[in-house]
Homo-oligomer: A and B are copies of this chain.
Amino acid sequence: MDIRSLCLGALMAGDASGYEIRKMFEEGVFSFFQMASLGSIYPALTKLSQEGLVTFTEQEQENRPDKKVYRLTPEGRRTFLRTLFQTRPGEDRYRSDILFLLSFAHELPVELCEALIDEYAARQEVMLDRITEADGQFNKDTDTNTDTDTKTDPDTSKSACQAGCDFIGGLGEAVCRATLDFISKNKKPFLAELRKRRSRQP
């Protein structure tokens, strides 16, 4: 998925600034399985608006810098939907430095291994919080899109991403819990095993 589709997808949930879109990928629903940095979001939004797939309104804010609030155009919506249909999804990719480091546990001090496992668990915990908190975050009104033609009817708009996001949120939750469960069950035996080996071969 390229960054442009990611931005369009984010805007499907409601109007947002570049900064807010990043937050969706960093803390929100999408954080579980996609990410995007500001350095890629801003150029993408610029290009998207040049192509007429999004529009933006500059919002003055008190005590805050101005905001460019982007909104999907009907064409943007159509384009995004077409993309969804046509995309044959690429392979999932999971990258984890921690797990790579832990592959070499037998070469590392046991304390470091423990720290790595704890760090891994802590991150999973954070992810779990994000996922459970994000539940229904697509339903909070974004005050700007109550009377737009980009939105169909209020009911559809309300349930925006809901069904899909619930399912995926549930999946993410299950995965995080399984991970944390595995760690709580296997951490100690694993570290004990490492110490045993260490004492055999110093």
A interface with B by C-beta (< 8 Å): 1, 6, 9, 12, 29-30, 32-35, 81, 84-85, 87, 89-108, 112-113, 116, 119-120, 123, 153, 155-156, 159-165, 167-168, 170-171, 174-175, 177-179, 181-183, 186, 190, 193-194, 197, 201
Whether the pair B163, A1 counts as a contact (CB closer than 8 A) is no
Whether the pair A162, B1 counts as a contact (CB closer than 8 A) is no
Q: Please give 12 more A-B residue pairs, beta carbons under 8 A apart, in addition to A106-B161, A163-B194, A175-B182.
A: A1-B97, A9-B100, A33-B95, A81-B107, A84-B108, A89-B98, A93-B94, A94-B94, A171-B179, A171-B182, A174-B179, A174-B181
The distance in angstroms between the C-alpha atoms of A99 and B90, with both chains bound, is: 11
Set of chain B residues within 8 Å of A9, measured between Cβ atoms: 100, 103-104
Set of chain B residues within 8 Å of A186, measured between Cβ atoms: 167, 170-171
Selected from B87, B92, B164, B182, the residue in CB contact (under 8 A) with A105 is B164
Whether the pair A92, B161 counts as a contact (CB closer than 8 A) is no
CB distance from A191 to the nearest CB of B (A): 10
Whether the pair A97, B87 counts as a contact (CB closer than 8 A) is yes
CB distance from A25 to the nearest CB of B (A): 11
Nearest residue in B to A106 (C-beta to C-beta)? B163
Set of chain B residues within 8 Å of A100, measured between Cβ atoms: 1, 6, 9, 30, 33-34
Whether the pair A201, B99 counts as a contact (CB closer than 8 A) is no
CB distance from A173 to the nearest CB of B (A): 9
> Given that A93-B95, A116-B89 are contacting pairs, would A104 and B164 also be in contact in the complex, using a CB cutoff of 8 Å?
yes
Selected from B33, B155, B174, B181, the residue in CB contact (under 8 A) with A99 is B33
Set of chain B residues within 8 Å of A123, measured between Cβ atoms: 91-92
Nearest residue in B to A123 (C-beta to C-beta)? B92
Q: Which 9 A-B pairs have the closest CB atoms?
A: A178-B178, A105-B164, A89-B97, A174-B182, A33-B99, A33-B96, A92-B96, A89-B98, A103-B164
